[in-house]
Chain A
Amino acid sequence: MSETRHPHPSEVTPESIYVNRRTFIKRASLAGIGGSLVAGGVWARQKNAPRVEGAFDDDLTPWETVTGYNNFYEFGTGKSDPKKNAQDFRTDPWAVEVTGEVREKRTFPLEELIDGLTIEERIYRMRCVEGWSMVIPWNGFMLKDLIERLGPTEDANYIEFTTLLDRQQMPGQNSPILPWPYVEALRMDEAMHPLTILATGVYGKDLPPQNGAPIRLVVPWKYGFKGAKSIVKIRFTKRQPRTTWNEAIPREYGFYANVNPDVDHPRWSQATERRLGEFFRRDTLMFNGYGEVASLYEGMDLRKYY
């Protein structure tokens, strides 16, 4: 995987430098350091901070946070556990089994599976069901391109993704907190939406293991847990597959898991979120701000299909 090239528009400045500078400016201005106690001064400084093209109006979450604050229970339940426990994770060689309602039913070496697909940068908001969020510059390709190449049959209504099961490399799988291996799935029209990508990189580099290397799902209008990591199996199905969190706690986690400020988690409100690194919570946006997907759910009661 190391030969995969992830072009990045900000290659001129290493991201750790500009992101840290920006974080510092933000925090310093909040503290009033540097004589910018006047509110106008504070906002002027934030406005002058460098921004990345295509990032809406949002600043990128620093590399340290994107790769150091992770929910990946296969490597432990603490936010810093995945980075700690995933460093020796082997992602090369990697194979992905394609099965179910599909023409090309076999196991592909990863290089072959994604060969020739266009890898682009996508800057997406990521909203965790727990109430925090990030802005992440992924590198990946549209899932739809892969699906078209694989050729699902007419009966393929859903697509299911399975994470590697390896109790030696993934120590978290030794505790029964979730039914392993981790499985997530999408309806076919969700999978074919141009916003849905499979990511192989972040910040212009190969995915670090704690972020789901070597290949993971990213669906920006859904809660983060829908994004299956370290995928070893893609299955096309006729009926709605069972998915891990939904199976574990169905009352709290639905199959759709669309970001929705109006439908609370039973134990907490989903109306607001904390963008990591920021002090004040901000309002959570319907479909995480990706309103273009609304037509996929027309006529559905989103309180029932949460």
Chain B
Amino acid sequence: MPRAVPMAPRAKRRDRIPAFKSLVWMASLAPVAVLADRIFLFGQFTGGAFVDDPVELIQHWTGMAAMIFLFLTLSITPLRRLTGINTSQRFRRLLGLFSFFYASLHVFSYFIFDQRMQLGPIAEDVLERNWILVGFLAWILLIPLAVTSTGGWIRRLGGKRWNRLHRLIYPAAVLIVLHFIWQTKVLEMEPLIYAGILVVLLAGRWWVRRRT
């Protein structure tokens, strides 16, 4: 059905953003869908093998997703600097919140399934085992960032203070990678690759800041 009033070109351009945004949403929730299929529907739609240990699968996938979304969040600004495309900035908050979403699923699957919400054993485990401690700290650092991600909080804090607070993403990213490296029994290749990616992301920022 043709529209009665032709849209202005500017409005048309803006319209594509919600469409793209829903695509990003769908892609961001894909890990949840795949997990649900593997565990509850025996991989009918995504083809995986029989899952012997669903909790291990949940923890691996949510942990990886939290880390990858954090890296994506960190790569939005360099991407803008390199390409000059400004719209991507709109997705930074969405990606950051998805990182927190997956990190929270990861942490709560540990609280609920491994520790059955018993505070004593949780505290003992977190304090006694370094690799759990650094992962836990990373999640704690992400909490204020998620809370203050709204426009209201940016106004309330003021851009400068908000920016300073949100630099917590850097230590959080380092702790997450450390958590990943430490949780393997022997030194494995995969965590080191992610450590390498983080080094590139952080070094790139430092380099840009020095030049400007």
Contact = CB atoms under 8 A, between A and B. Distances in A.
Interface of A: 20, 24, 27-28, 31, 33, 62, 64-65, 68-69, 79, 132, 267-269, 271-272, 274, 276-277, 279-281
13 contacts: A65-B50, A65-B52, A68-B49, A68-B52, A79-B52, A132-B53, A274-B55, A274-B113, A274-B114, A276-B53, A280-B113, A281-B113, A281-B115
Interface in B86-119: 112-116
A13 to B, nearest CB: 19
Contacts of A28: 40
Interface of B: 36, 39-40, 42, 49-50, 52-55, 112-116, 121, 125, 129
Contacts of A271: 121
B113 A33 contact: no
Nearest to A274: B55
A64 B52 contact: yes
B60 to A, nearest CB: 13
A132 B53 CA distance: 9
Q: Which of A31, A68, A268, A279 is packed against the most chain B CB atoms within 10 Å? A: A279
Contacts of A276: 52-53
Contacts of B49: 68
B50 A68 contact: yes
A238 to B, nearest CB: 36
A269 B121 contact: yes
Contacts of A27: 39-40, 54
A73 to B, nearest CB: 12
Contacts of A132: 53
B54 A277 contact: yes
Nearest to A33: B40
A277 B52 contact: yes
Contacts of A69: 52-53
A269 B129 CA distance: 10
B53 A274 contact: yes
Nearest to B36: A31
B197 to A, nearest CB: 24
B116 A280 contact: yes
Contact of A281 (B50, B114, B129): B114
Contact of B40 (A31, A62, A274): A31
Contacts of A64: 50, 52
Contacts of B125: 269
A279 B39 CA distance: 11
A268 B114 CA distance: 12
Contacts of B129: 267-268
Nearest to A264: B128
Contacts of A20: 42
A279 B50 contact: no
Contacts of A280: 112-113, 116
Contacts of B50: 62, 64-65, 68
A62 B55 CA distance: 16
A68 B116 CA distance: 27
Q: Which of A62, A79, A271, A274 is packed against the most chain B CB atoms within 10 Å? A: A274
A21 B52 CA distance: 15
Nearest to A20: B42
